[in-house]
Amino acid sequence: MKSPMPPFQIRNRSAFTYAQAVIEEYSRSFTISSRLLPKRRRWAVCALYGFCRYAHNLIEKPRMRTGDEVMDELDILKKEILMAYRTGGSEHPVVMSFIEVASHFRIPIEYPLEFLKGAGMDVDHHRYRTWQDLHVFCYRVAGIVGIMMAYILGFKNESALPYAEKLGVAMQLTNMLRDVDNDRKRDRIYLPEDEMEQFSVTEDTLTRRQMNDALRSLMRIQVERAHRLYEEAEPGIALLDRESRFAIRCASRIYRGILYKIEASGYDPFAGRASLGRREKAGIVLREWMRSGRLSNR
């Protein structure tokens, strides 16, 4: 059982304002979910997202840098994290707010370091032989984020962490499935090669954007895998602090809604990037709010 901690107090407000701008720029779904959290946790979540997004952008936006140069940037960020954990502070624009959060919520240093290791995988690992291989990547870049989120959201005991990891992996897989076409244009394929072979789907199928029954079957089993992960993660929400559960339940429902959009398209990865509109997201929030009220009354 984690011991109680005093309320989180922001020291460097400008750093947190920057992190909030990052989350609003890059993730509308995450923005909506974070606003459902109490303010003291909302700012902390922004700082975590800002750190993760910064590392992600080093890979996604290489700015004419070579792979080795991008890895050097990640190594600099790793060293900054190590120093920040040792000294309790940083002048780095995203580490500044993150270390405040990590120190207050007692996030172990191995988690941000493991996350950076996963970010580095995306520099030179553009194919994955099996789901087990791909899962290692998903765990590092998203399952770890779910675990760090749990520290911010609060939990009864560490039995909540495996569930948080599963929810992070489920969301990462969801993002991959809606970005199959865009990722292929960047020479990245996040579909297990052995399963592509099983359904006779080749890289040329993706390059030529050929939708057929084989690709539909392959996409279907990926979507079903993601659904299972959401289902397996669900019991962990009840292990979070009560004031955090509503926001995370909404986030899970909103992301899972993307899977339903993919299903509605006939599992066609070339039909456009699946997403939910504002009204759909608002409808999910309203339904969960009504549901949470019924549960409270019980």
- 115 and 130 inside one domain: no
4 within domain boundaries: no
Tell me the CA distances in angstroms from 216 to 9, 177, 188, one per residue in order. 50, 12, 19
Rounded CA-CA distance 177/193 in Å is 15
Give the model's pLDDT for residue 12.
77
Mean pLDDT to the nearest integer, 49-77: 91
Q: Which of 124, 158, 189 finishes a domain?
A: 124
Q: Does 153 share its domain with 268? A: yes
pLDDT in tens, 109-166: 999 999 999 999 999 889 999 999 999 999 999 999 999 999 999 998 999 999 999 9
Band of residue 2 on the pLDDT scale cut at 50, 70, 90: low
Give me the domain span that covers residue 76.
12-124
The single residue listed with the structure tokens 């949470």 is 292
Q: Which of 74, 89, 124 is the last residue of a domain?
A: 124
User: Residue 20: its pLDDT value, please?
Assistant: 79
Angle at 178 between CA 210 and CA 46, to 5 degrees: 160
Instruction: Name the nearest CA neighbour of 94 among 48, 62, 27, 57.
Output: 48
> Is the distance from CB of 127 to CB of 190 less than 8 angstroms?
no
- 175 and 249 housed in the same domain: yes
Does position 95 have pLDDT exceeding 50, yes or no?
yes
CATH number at residue 276: 1.10.600.10
| 37 and 174 inside one domain | no
Residues near 133 by beta carbon (within 8 Å), at least 6 away in sequence = 192
Backbone angles phi and psi of 297, in degrees to 5: -65, -35
Phi, psi (5° rounding) for residue 116? -65, -35
pLDDT higher than 70, residue 295: no
How many domains are there within the chain? Answer: 2
User: How far apart, in whole angstroms, are the C-alpha atoms of residue 100 and residue 8?
Assistant: 9
Three-state secondary structure string covering 214-244: HHHHHHHHHHHHHHHHHHHHHHHHHHECHHH
Name the band, by pLDDT with cuts 50, 70 and 90, for residue 63: confident
Residues 135 and 246 in one domain: yes
Residue 5 belongs to some domain of the structure: no
The position carrying tokens 């199928």 is 205
Structure tokens belonging to residue 275: 């997403």
Among 85, 107, 124, the domain boundary falls at 124
217 and 149, same structural domain? yes
Task: Indicate if 277 and 224 belong to the same structural domain.
Answer: yes
8 confidence band (pLDDT: 50, 70, 90) = confident
Q: Mind listing the pLDDT tens digit for each residue in 179-204?
A: 999 999 999 999 999 999 999 999 99
Give the span between the Cα atoms of 257 and 231, in whole angstroms.
13
Query: Residue 227 above 90 pLDDT?
Result: yes
Mean pLDDT of the residues in the chain: 91
Query: DSSP state, 77?
Result: H
96 within a domain of the structure (yes/no): yes
pTM exceeds 0.85 for this model: yes
> Is residue 66 classed as helix, strand or coil in its secondary structure?
coil
Q: Are residues 75 and 105 in the same domain?
A: yes
Task: Say how far apart CA 33 and CA 71 lie, in whole Å.
Answer: 32
Q: Do 173 and 229 form a contact (C-beta atoms < 8 A)?
A: yes
269 and 211 fall within a common domain:
yes
Residue 6 lies in a domain: no
Same domain, 160 and 245: yes
Least reliable range by pLDDT among 35-39, 108-112, 257-261? 35-39
Are both 218 and 287 inside the same structural domain? Answer: yes
In a domain, 2, yes or no: no
Question: What is the spatial distance between Cα 88 and Cα 104, in angstroms, rounded to a whole number?
Answer: 10
| Least confident segment among 19-28, 152-161, 195-204, 279-288 | 19-28
Q: Would you say residue 211 has pLDDT above 90?
A: yes
pLDDT tier at 34, thresholds 50, 70, 90 = confident
Q: Whose CA is closest to 247, among 197, 289, 189?
A: 289
What DSSP string runs through 102-126?
HHHHT--THHHHHHHHHHHHHHH--
Determine, yes or no, domain membership for 294. Answer: yes
For residues 120 and 130, membership in a common domain is answered with: no
Q: Cα–Cα distance between 257 and 284 in angstroms, integer?
A: 9
CA–CA gap between residue 149 and residue 165 (Å, rounded) = 10
Q: How far is CA 129 from CA 133, 137, 231, 278, in A?
A: 6, 12, 25, 37
CB burial string 271-289: b at 16+ within 10 A, e below: eeebebeeeebeebbeebe
265 - beta bridge partners?
none
Banded pLDDT at 209 (limits 50, 70, 90): very high
